[in-house]
Amino acid sequence: MTARRIIAFDCEGDTLIGSLDAGDAATGLLIVSGGNEIRAGAHRGMAQLAARLSADGLSVFRYDRRGIGDSGGVNAGYTVGRDDLLAAVAAFRRAQPTVTRIVGFGNCDAATTLAWWGRDAGFAAVVLANPFTVPPADDLPPTAAIRAHYAARLRDPAAWWRIARRGVSLSKLARGLARLAVPKRTPTIADRTLAAIAGWGADATIVLARHDATAIAYADAARRAGVAPRTVTIDTGSHSFARASDAAALEAAIRAAI
C-alpha cells in the first residue's frame, strides 16, 4: 500500500493541510469533508475509503478547509468554501501531476460545495451524497422528513398504542404537525443547489441514505423541482454510511461513477 503523504498548501494566505493516498491511474478522487468534520471523516470513513481506493491504483486527496482540523484560518462555513476547494484541487494536481481527470465526492454540505463550485474547480464528475438543501429553522427536522416520519408512524399499529398510552411527546407532535401546515416556500439554498446539480447533467451521481432526514429533504425538493440526476439509494438511516454494508454500497457507487 502506498504511504499516505501530508501536504501543506496556501489558501488566501492561510495554510491548509491535505492528505494524498497516491496511485498510478489517470483519474483521481478529491474528497470534501462535510460540516465541521476533519478530513478523516466520520468514524475515519473517508480515510479508510482513500486507502482502499489507493490500493487499487486511484489517487485520493482529502483536505481540511480553513479553521477545521489541521488547517489554519477561520472556519466560516461551507458557504464560503469556494477558495478552499480550488486551492485543494490545485494542490492535488501539483502533488500528483499524472492525474488528468478528477472526480469529486462529498457528503451533506460538502456535496453542496461540490455542486456549487465543482465546475469552477475543473472536476470531470461529482458524487454527491445526501446534498444539503434545507437549513433547519428550529430543532425540528426538515418538513419532508417530518412528513415521511409521521407517515411511517401512522402505518404502524404499535405507534397508535404508544400514543394512546401517552408514550410520545404531544408537544413535539403538535409542533411537527404545525410545521406541515405552514405553506411551503423553497429556500434560496435549495434553489441554488438544485439548479447547480441539474447543470451537471450526466456528470453527477446522487447517493442517498434512504431514511436520513437530509436525504429525504433533498429528494422531496428535487422531485418538486423536476431535477432527476442519476441516483443511488442505500437502505440505511446513517447519514455518514457508518455500517460496513453502507460503506461498501457507497464505495461501489463512487467506483461506478469513476
Query: What secondary structure, in 3-state letters, does 55-69 show?
Result: HCCCEEEEECCCCCC
- Counting the structural domains of the chain, the total is 2
Tell me what percent of the residues of the chain surpass a pLDDT of 70: 79
> Going by C-beta distance under 8 Å and a sequence separation of 6 or more, which residues neighbour residue 111?
32, 34, 126, 128, 129, 130, 131, 132
Report d(CA 221, CA 128) in Å as an integer. Answer: 15
Domain that includes residue 172, residue range: 143-181
Confidence of residue 159 (pLDDT cuts 50, 70, 90): low
241 and 122 in a single domain? The answer is yes
Confidence of residue 3 (pLDDT cuts 50, 70, 90): confident
124 and 172 in a single domain? The answer is no
195 and 176 in a single domain? The answer is no
249 and 196 in a single domain? The answer is yes
Each residue of 160-187: pLDDT tens digit? 556 556 555 656 655 655 555 555 554 5
User: What phi-psi label fits residue 41: left (phi over 0), alpha (psi between -120 and 50 degrees) or beta?
Assistant: left
91 and 34 in a single domain? The answer is yes
43 and 157 in a single domain? The answer is no
Structure-block grid coordinates of residue 195: 439548479
Over range 224-233, report the average pLDDT.
96
Which carries the bigger pLDDT value, residue 45 or residue 155? 45
116 and 58 in a single domain? The answer is yes
Report d(CA 206, CA 243) in Å as an integer. Answer: 19
The pTM for the full model equals 0.81
56 and 161 in a single domain? The answer is no
30 and 117 in a single domain? The answer is yes
- Going by the DSSP 8-state scheme, the letter that residue 44 receives in this structure is G
Each residue of 16-73: pLDDT tens digit? 999 999 999 999 999 999 999 999 999 999 999 999 999 999 999 999 999 999 999 9
Each residue of 233-250: pLDDT tens digit? 999 999 999 999 999 999
21 and 46 in a single domain? The answer is yes
| End-to-end Cα distance, the chain | 20
Q: Are 92 and 102 in contact (CB under 8 A)?
A: yes
Which pLDDT belongs to residue 186?
42
Give me the phi and psi of 54, to 5 degrees please.
Answer: -65, -35
